[in-house]
Structure 1
Amino acid sequence: MESKDGVREGADKGGPAADFHERVQGMLERAKQLQPEELTFRYNGVLYPTVLCSVQTLQALGNFQARPEDLVISSYPKCGFNWVNLLLWDIATVNQNESKDGKPGDLSKIKLLEFESARSYEMMKSFPSPHIYGTHNHYNNLPPSIIEKKTKILVVFRNPKDNAVSYYHFCQNNPLLPNSASWDEFFRKYMTGEVCWGSYFDNAVVWEKHVDDENVKIITYEELKEDLAKGVQSIAEFFALSLSEEQIQKIAGRGTFQTMSDNSEKTHSSFGKVIFRKGVVGDWKTLFTKEQSEEMDAKFEACLAGTKIGAMLKYDLYCKE
């Protein structure tokens, strides 16, 4: 958000933990003053949350200056972004020996670009490398400098059925986002891309075109759930961050979803339990009707069948009864 609401200013000045909690309270207060229809705005055809983003910030993204050595994460909302963000911070911290116990650093150091400001981008120029930051935008909406510098991008995907259910609960429990009258209403919005950051499938189709780019790596929520230590090693290797086997095991041990959920109030203030809700694979079965499941199957078939991302998602394993 911009400084006009008195929140961004505090977040930029320092005192990371205190400022972050203060910023959260400011956002909650601002959201209370908005009508449901005012909680989102449209920019270049895509919906964004009003309290978290602004037109000025999205415009300023075009001039954001990435560095080749930056560590970037991109994912559609509720695909495991916060989980992987904290994992990457832990990996980078251990690699650089900045902390003897390798605990994740302050959340303020892990930036989601759309939530920042032109002022923040300018301040980042003085920060030492590497920068760690992320975005929910797909490839075509990344800052041009990321593409030009061939900055490495870790892209996190999750099977669309679990993603839809997780996104639904996130919106229902998050006062900064508009909620839906029912799951059925949300499902219709999700399938038509009328949710923040647009369509999951549009996002995936764009990334599929760049799946073989040398600076892009796709990782899935499900593979991290299957073998977190292997996932940690894969992330470290992609970013050329050297870790011993012992370090990998320790990072995986403190990087489980349950551990991060238990620590979520410290890392994400009152939003912790909203962000880290359940963390399971197969939760879609609690809400999807047979008809909705078949509709999603057809959408997946039309958009991702036969693609590399489609294969990585193991759709038949995770999204079929």
Structure 2
Amino acid sequence: MSGRHSMLWTHEGVSLSRVITKETLDAVLDFQIRDDDIVVASFPKTGTNWLAEIAVKILRAAGKTDKSVDSMEFGPMEMKRPTATQPGYITLADMPSPRLVMTHLPVKFAPQGISKPQNKDLLSAVKTIVAFLEVDLDEATVKDIAEASTFDNMKAGLDNSTIAERRGIARKGIIGDWKNTFSSEESAAFDAWCEKKLGGTGLTFDFE
């Protein structure tokens, strides 16, 4: 086999670069993500380095990091650059905070701190958004907003909206309900369309 396909290998149905080893995939699952990590998770060639460069420049301008902790130097955590002696995740583990964590790994191969965060409940999410928007709200107000933002409460508000288009936005709030909407023929047609458009790219999607 020659060309770009010789640069890839397949693991659990996913095409991966040969610079990513099975040993690295196993180790990365247990990589410890810190609360103050900045994670850039994306498909390759979708502006990853551009976004990461912007993040680094912002951190430097704010005095939160400098060249010595620039994780841009080794790229995605799962890869080992030709001039490097070890994969990026090993170097990253010993770096001081705040770290910039870049990865192209699919969710099922990513560190559990990214794929299955243990801290991502509604109240915490609202607090994160409050901090991001740089507003000052007391704890009681934040809790009220979180309670009003549960799926059931949000759905009730949308279902009774005076704007007709908003009444059908919130459905059941569960994963996989498409199976109750698509017929088997529609599902097969959509799968065929995805294969036609994405076949050979290595891109796959889990609709479960």
Which structure has greater helix proportion? Answer: 1
User: Which structure exhibits the higher relative contact order, with contacts defined as CA atoms closer than 8 Å and separated by 6 or more residues?
Assistant: 1
Higher CA-based Rg: 2
Task: Tell me the TM-score normalized by structure 1.
Answer: 0.34
